[in-house]
Copies of this chain bind each other. A is one copy, B any other.
Amino acid sequence: MPRTSKIAESPPHAVEQALITLGRNIRTARLRRKLARRELAERIGISRYVLADIERGKPTTGIVAYLGALWALGLLSQMDELADPDRDLEGKILEAARSPKTAPKRKAFDDDF
């Protein structure tokens, strides 16, 4: 993450914690499967050093490396639930509280690009 962004320099505590937990979970899953770093890293398509970073919860590592790890461990399916609009209670409430005509929309209902 060159030309460093503020969040990379000092992430919020909650984010740091989430990363450490995620890294530890990935490590646990690897050990349970009796996979060496080198081997799992190769399956993911990264170097063993990056996998070490992931297990340590390094913030600036590309998200594709993290998701690749989950994928290689067969744990990627859990991603679908993350930030699922159907589960975003607060967002739903906010949306419902507004009248039909709102926001700076593009065309109609939007969500496309």
Contact = CB atoms under 8 A, between A and B. Distances in A.
Interface of A: 1, 5-8, 11-12, 14-15, 18-19, 21-22, 24-29, 31-34, 36, 44-47, 50, 56, 59-68, 70-71, 73-76, 78-85, 87-88, 90-92, 94-95, 98, 102-104, 110-111, 113
A62 B1 contact: yes
A66 B92 CA distance: 21
Contacts of A21: 79-80
Copies per complex? 2
* Chain A interface main SS type: helix
By CB atoms of chain B within 10 A, which of A34, A61, A83 has the most?
A: A83
Contacts of A85: 25, 28-29, 32
Contacts of A91: 28-29, 32-33, 73
A75 B75 CA distance: 20
Contacts of A76: 14-15, 18
B14 A71 contact: yes
A102 to B, nearest CB: 7
